[in-house]
Amino acid sequence: MDNWGLSAWLDSLSGVADSTRAVYERDAAAAARWLEQAGCPGPESVDRRALRSYLAELGNNRYAARTITRKVSVLRRYFGWARRTGRMEVDPTLGLAAPRGPSKLPQVLKDDHIHTLISKPARAGDDDARDARDLAIVELLYGSGLRVSELCGLRHDDLDLGRAAVRVWGKGSKQRLVPLSDPAVAALGAWLRDHRGSFVTSDTPTAAVFLNQRGRAMTPRDVRRVIDRRSVVPTHPHALRHTFATHLLDGGADLRAVQELLGHADIASTQIYTHVSRERLREVHRSSHPRA
């Protein structure tokens, strides 16, 4: 397969983990073998129709949509390199669409699960300072719908507990003002006033609202550990944001208002929660009505 230049392409990949490189090599080699059998001896003879036939063959062989999407990503990277290095004039992956897999509705936590995270943590209670911090984290994720990255990036100046509001820096450095619930204000006040100081170290001063036990700004991984420690079942922190949005819509909130609170640039990203809300109503009907 020297005519495909796969070795040179792989050598050009910088900052790629060995495991990822192995996947790229396997996917690209498999595509090259299939394309050769289909009458394309090298990259210069491949067009979009040939690639679509290859993707159709993968679908016929029952490859998962996620796997096909990954293979399309590898093809884009390879053919982009082939065009840049003069092996072909036109990149055949331009406009090539990967198949869409079945969409999964966001996970929404049940009321008793939320109650456990807030009031009856599964493996907490042995460290008052840590528990105060963790409660404030849960109240912010559920009560204000912050992304985990947004929560980790909060600084003191972003909080206005007197007005029950927090300034959030979202994706693309877009700023929005989000209300704080009364429980979140109380939990944040207790953490900042009574406990945060015990986490601060002289060698790592930081203005971050939430600190880990090394005195550094918390990371998304730290937050995941917080949720794991307080939950009785594995729970991703983002599920609290999903639950926040769904509960707002269940309560009659306007979709545009929820979009602003979540910081979505496109309302289509928010509309998924209307489907979740409808599905919850269907489930209530199925489980409660005698003729459902």
Active site residues: 147, 171, 238, 241, 264, 273
CA distance 195 to 188: 10
At position 134, the amino acid (one-letter code) is D
- Reported as type and span, the H/E element at residue 168 is strand 165-169
Here the tokens at position 116 are 């456990």
The two three-digit tokens of residue 167, written as one number: 């300034």
Rounded Cα gap, residues 200 and 209, in angstroms: 11
How many CA atoms lie less than 13 Å away from 103 in the CB half-sphere? 7
* Strand, helix or coil for residue 90: coil
Distances (CA, A) of 212 to 35, 41, 73, 118, 220: 52, 56, 36, 19, 11
